[in-house]
Chain A
């Protein structure tokens, strides 16, 4: 017997059944299963589509260079924030980085300040290839980054891959 909540129309019920299947599918997918769970409840066509999307839609990753550069800029901004909170009285403190407005729905709107953009160059990676002008800079950065200790498991893993490629 299928559980049907009261006061719902057929769209809601179909959507609920689909959602329940999807939850099971994504949980199985996270465990490494390569086939979808078997059930007679969800529409077989939708089941096929869900299995296909869970299998085929990739997660895109930012470049290592971008990730590390942004981490450095965030660290700089954090230091400025900490210094500003120590140095200035509340009346004197100027906004650091972007100006932020909290909207009534809890979301945040950012008005970018001019100084935030200043240290940010255009990415050196263009379509996955380094430009020749950027090559020596990138090489120096990579050498520096490979020597830099980090407690992050992701950073260690990325460096291990980079070492393999360099070898």
Chain B
């Protein structure tokens, strides 16, 4: 006779959002917990892509409305290699966000990119001189990232800002883990050249 825990079917603890997802699938009113957990990350991703607060809000709204109505169709597809911290819900959510951003972008006329404004809007602490230098460094980094091409930019933002794993980014961008590593590596090389050129 086996021990009690051996008799019960065990589910691999791969998706850290599984409990929240199952609650929301059973009762859509419980979706709020997932929304609160990811709204800032989705918004930030959308803002990096669209460079406009209103557009980022619109894409964020579309993302969560789609996720709410589509959650019943969501299936956990984490692989053992994704690690204990994997969240396939997050990957699925960001796939929706990527589509929402693309749809929003298609509906927009081309407009000047303004990452510098975002950097300028940050609250200044008491160290005015230090903060001015810091702001300029941030603005330079934002401009350089904004100039990266499509998936290179997305991969860098998802890795550095949203702190996602290579596997999660691969799931979102529909590429292999190796392809994402190469994307980021090339993006960093490109940024190194760009930031070196901007050095006074």
> Which of A's residues lie within 8 Å of B, judged by CB?
11-12, 14-16, 18-19, 22, 26, 30, 45-46, 48-50, 52-54, 56-63, 66-67, 70-71, 73-75, 77-79, 81-82, 95-98, 100, 102, 105-110, 112, 116, 120, 122-123, 125, 128, 152, 154-155
List of A residues within 8 angstroms of B185 by Cβ: 11, 14-15, 18-19, 46
Q: Are A82 and B60 in contact (CB under 8 A)?
A: no
Q: Are B181 and A15 in contact (CB under 8 A)?
A: yes
Q: Are A75 and B32 in contact (CB under 8 A)?
A: yes
Q: Are A107 and B188 in contact (CB under 8 A)?
A: no
> Which of B's residues lie within 8 Å of A, judged by CB?
27-29, 31-32, 35-36, 39-41, 43-44, 47-48, 53-54, 56-57, 60-62, 64-70, 73, 77, 92, 95-96, 98-100, 103, 118-119, 121-122, 134, 137-138, 141-142, 145, 156-157, 159-163, 166, 174, 178, 181-182, 184-185, 188-189, 191-192, 195
List of A residues within 8 angstroms of B99 by Cβ: 107-110
Q: Are B35 and A74 in contact (CB under 8 A)?
A: yes
List of B residues within 8 angstroms of A19 by Cβ: 166, 181, 184-185
List of A residues within 8 angstroms of B40 by Cβ: 59, 61-62
Q: Are A45 and B192 in contact (CB under 8 A)?
A: yes
Q: Are B188 and A46 in contact (CB under 8 A)?
A: yes
Interface of B is mostly: helix
Q: Are A15 and B178 in contact (CB under 8 A)?
A: yes
List of B residues within 8 angstroms of A58 by Cβ: 118-119, 122, 138, 161
Q: Are B66 and A18 in contact (CB under 8 A)?
A: no
Q: Are A56 and B138 in contact (CB under 8 A)?
A: yes
6 contacts between A and B (CB under 8 A): A15-B181, A58-B138, A60-B48, A61-B44, A78-B27, A97-B69
